[in-house]
Amino acid sequence: MARAELLDRLRELQPTTSRAGARIFFAPGRANLLGAHLDYNGGSVMPVALSRGTYLAVAPRTDRLLSLRSAQFPGEAVELPLDELRPRRTRAWTAYLEGALWACEQAWGRLPGLDLALVADLPMARGLSSSASVECVAVFACARLLGRETEPDEMIHLAHRAENLYVGVRCGILDQAAILLGRPGHLLLFDCLEMTREHLPLPAGLRLVVVDSGVQRELATSAFNQRVAECTRALAELQQVAPGLTCLRDVDRDLLERHGDRLAPILRRRVEHVVGEVERTERGAAALRAGRGEEFGRMMTAAHDSLRDLFEVSTPELDALVEAAVAVSGCLGARLTGAGFGGCIVGLVAAGAEDAFEAAVADAYRRRCGREAEFHWFDPGGGPAEIA
C-alpha cells in the first residue's frame, strides 16, 4: 500500500476533533541478519531497519485521557486515563503503546491527554519487530511533542523498558537499537553491551526479501523467555569456574571445551550457539567491510542451522523456506528472522533474481508444507521521522 493510502487510513481513524492538530510520525520495522539471540547475552548484532513500519498520528487533549485506535485492530479502540497505566495492565495490542507512554512519563514527567491512531504496512507477529516499531514511534513522538532534544540511546532504553517491564518480554535491545539507529542503505553492527555502533553498507546489487511462513508467533507467551532463562542458568554455571564472566558473549571455544561438560546438554547447546554466533557476526561484519556479499550470505545460512539445531527456535516451515531459498541461484543466504517460533525468514538475493526466487520458493514451500508463502521486498531504511 502506498504511503498516501496509509496516511488516508490513519486520518480516518482519528476523531474528527483532533485531525487538524495531529502530528504524524513513522518508525521502521527491522530484520536481524546476524547476531541471533545475542542481544540479551551481551553480544553484537547486525540488524537492518526496513523501509516499512508504523505510522502514528498524535493529537494532544486537554484532559489526562488516552484514546488509542489501530487500523490493524478495528473495533478494539481503548480509552483510559494516563494515571491507570501500570506494568502488565493488559495483554491487548495497546500494551506496547501504553508501555512506551508509561516509560516516557516515568522519565520525563506528566504527559497531556492524547488521541493516538496507528496504521502499519509491516506484517505483525512475524519476527519483523512490529511491537518495537510501535514502542519506538511512540517514544520518538513523545520526545518531539515535549520539545526534548533526546539522544537515540535514551530513546532506545525507554522503548526497551516498555517491552521488558510493561509488556513483560525479557528481550535485549536489538530491536529498539535497530529501529532508532537505522541508516538508509546500511546494516547496523551494534554491540549490545558497550552500546557502540558501526553502519556497514549493503553491497550494491543485493536485495533483502522477507518471506512470511504464515505461522503465527506470540513472543510474550512463547518459549522466548525460556531461552533467556536457560542462558542465565548456563552463565551462572560457568561463572563457578570463570568468575570474571559477565555475559555469555565472553565465553570462548577454549572455555566451552574445558568446562562444557558441567552444563546440562540443553544448556551446552545454547552456549554453543552463542559462541558460534559471536564468531559468525564478526566474520559477517568483516565480509561487509570488504564488500564480500557471498561470504556474508553464508554466515546467515550458518546462523539458521545453529538456530535450528542448537538454540532450537526454528519450525519445520521456517526450515523449509530456508532450504528452498538457498537452493535458488542468486540467493546468497537466508535465515529465520526475529526470535523464531514461527514468522518469517530473511534472505539476501541478487537484484534481477526476484521473480525466479519467488516462483521457486513458493512452489517448493507449497509442495513441502501445503502452505502459501508471502514475499516482501525491502531496502535498508532509516530511523524514525516526523512526516506531517
Cell 571445551 locates to 257
Residue partners of 303: CB distance under 8 A and separation at least 6: 34, 36, 277, 280, 335
Distance of CA 284 to the CA centre of its chain: 19
Q: Tell me the β-bridge partners of 118.
A: 56, 70
Measure the CA–CA gap between 181 and 28, rounded to whole angstroms.
10
Measure the CA–CA gap between 144 and 25, rounded to whole angstroms.
10
Identify the CA nearest to 127 among candidates 224, 30, 60. Answer: 30
Phi, psi of 345 (to 5 degrees): -110, 160
Measure the CA–CA gap between 43 and 41, rounded to whole angstroms.
6
Residue type, 143: A
Measure the CA–CA gap between 181 and 197, rounded to whole angstroms.
9
Residue type, 174: L
Taking a C-beta distance cutoff of 8 angstroms, is the pair 33, 300 a contact? yes
Exposure letters 172-187 (e unless 16+ CB within 10 A, then b): bbbbbbbbbbbbeebb
Measure the CA–CA gap between 69 and 78, rounded to whole angstroms.
7
Taking a C-beta distance cutoff of 8 angstroms, is the pair 284, 299 a contact? yes
Q: Which of 39, 115, 121, 175 is catalytic?
A: 175
Asked if 175 is an active-site residue, the reply is yes
Grid cell of 307 as nine digits: 538456530
Residue 360: how many other CB atoms lie within 10 Å? 18
Sign, CA dihedral 213-40-349-282, equals negative
Sheet with 331-336, side-by-side order of all strands: 331-336, 344-350, 206-212, 374-378
Q: Catalytic amino acids?
A: 175
